[in-house]
């Protein structure tokens, strides 16, 4: 009955785990309510029984955390910010960049609309893509977005040269970021900065797909990873452009 909520939440959980974000049962319930509202499922109740079933369907279990690598206490955030300030102080604002991905349910209609009478709803679309956005600290540069679709040649762009698109187009069966795509992104960014004789700082979260191989040979891009579990506090794009992007398109 609530398969669409289930699928949306499962995607969100996977993204959160990839970003090393701590999850709890209460967080899943609240996020389930958010998706229920987006999908116009007003009768959805995030009950304990529903939560148990969701965790069983997606093999989600409770684990005890070991060590400190997976935690980011609030008390440590000031020192993290000082570290980032020290690193960024070596660059001009225009040469400090941040990149971040977000999922976009591009066919999802708004659950609330203006009308002079009752409006009949339609089945909610589950189609999604991943978009990676990159911009600099002073807002003077917004690089071409990176878009990941499920299909190499969707009908809408079947006869269009992808090099002419306003995005860098990639595809895979899940429409997810993967290491090979991220490496292409870094190579292109490094070549672009090399042509401009610029050296930039790129701030990233520590998602597993954001690995940097020595074979890439980054000469003009210095990558700095934010501490684990600090995306909500320290990731510039997540705090600003990503949220605005979701409001505009979702």
Residue 119 lies inside a defined structural domain of this protein: no
Residue 77 lies inside a defined structural domain of this protein: no
Q: Are the C-beta atoms of residues 235 and 205 closer than 8 Å to each other?
A: yes
Residue 63 lies inside a defined structural domain of this protein: no
Residue 48 lies inside a defined structural domain of this protein: yes
pLDDT digits (tens, 9 = 90+) for 216-226: 899 999 999 98
Residue 69 lies inside a defined structural domain of this protein: no
The torsion angles phi and psi of 217, rounded to 5 degrees, stand at: 60, 65
> 3-state class of 221 per DSSP?
strand
Q: Give the pLDDT score at 228.
A: 79
| Total of domains in the chain | 2
Q: Are the C-beta atoms of residues 127 and 107 closer than 8 Å to each other?
A: yes
Q: Give the pLDDT score at 246.
A: 42
Residue 163 lies inside a defined structural domain of this protein: yes
Strand order in the sheet with 96-104: 168-171, 146-149, 129-136, 96-104, 200-204, 221-225
Q: Are the C-beta atoms of residues 206 and 226 closer than 8 Å to each other?
A: yes
CATH number for the domain spanning 9: value is 1.10.10.60
Task: Please report, in tens digits, the pLDDT of each residue of the chain (250 residues total).
Answer: 678 888 888 888 888 777 767 788 888 898 889 888 888 888 888 899 988 988 888 888 766 554 443 454 577 888 888 999 999 999 999 999 999 988 888 777 666 544 345 545 566 667 889 999 999 999 899 999 999 999 999 998 989 999 999 999 999 998 999 999 999 999 999 999 999 999 999 999 888 888 888 788 999 999 999 887 777 777 777 665 555 444 333 3
Q: What is the token pair recorded at 231?
A: 């995306």
Domain span at 51: 3-57
Residues 100 and 221 in one domain: yes
Q: What is the token pair recorded at 5?
A: 């909520």
Residues 138 and 20 in one domain: no
Residues 221 and 167 in one domain: yes
Q: Give the pLDDT score at 89.
A: 94
Question: Which are the contacts of 61, defined by CB distance < 8 A and separation ≥ 6?
Answer: 55
Residues 108 and 216 in one domain: yes
Q: Give the pLDDT score at 120.
A: 59
Residues 50 and 13 in one domain: yes
Residues 90 and 207 in one domain: yes
CATH number for the domain spanning 136: value is 3.30.420
Question: Which are the contacts of 177, defined by CB distance < 8 A and separation ≥ 6?
Answer: 101, 130, 132, 148, 207, 209
Distance CA 207, CA 103 (A): 15
Q: What is the DSSP letter of 156?
A: G
Residues 100 and 217 in one domain: yes
Q: Give the pLDDT score at 70.
A: 47
Residues 198 and 105 in one domain: yes
Distance CA 5, CA 245 (A): 21
Residue 159 lies inside a defined structural domain of this protein: yes
Residue 14 lies inside a defined structural domain of this protein: yes
């Amino acid at each position: 009955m609530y398969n669409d909520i289930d699928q949306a939440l499962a995607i969100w959980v996977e993204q959160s785990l990839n970003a090393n974000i701590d999850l709890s049962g209460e967080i899943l319930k609240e996020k389930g309510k958010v998706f229920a509202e987006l999908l116009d499922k007003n009768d959805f109740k995030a009950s304990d029984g529903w939560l148990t079933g969701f965790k069983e369907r997606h093999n989600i279990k409770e684990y005890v955390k070991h060590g400190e690598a997976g935690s980011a206490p609030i008390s440590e955030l000031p020192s993290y910010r000082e570290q980032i300030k020290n690193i960024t102080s070596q660059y001009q604002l225009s040469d400090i960049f941040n990149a971040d991905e977000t999922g976009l349910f591009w066919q999802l209609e708004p659950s609330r609309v203006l009308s002079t009478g009752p409006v009949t709803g339609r089945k909610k679309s589950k189609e999604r893509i991943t978009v990676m956005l990159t911009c600099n600290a002073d807002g003077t540069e917004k690089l071409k977005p990176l878009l990941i679709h499920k299909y190499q040649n969707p009908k809408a762009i079947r006869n269009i040269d992808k090099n002419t698109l306003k995005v860098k187009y990639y595809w895979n069966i899940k429409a997810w970021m993967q290491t090979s795509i991220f490496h292409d992104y870094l190579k292109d960014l490094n070549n672009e900065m090399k042509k401009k004789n610029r050296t930039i700082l790129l701030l990233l979260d520590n998602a597993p797909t954001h690995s940097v191989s020595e074979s890439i040979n980054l000469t003009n891009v210095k990558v700095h990873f934010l501490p684990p579990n600090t995306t909500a506090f320290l990731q510039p794009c997540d705090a600003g452009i990503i949220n605005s992007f979701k409001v505009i398109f979702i």
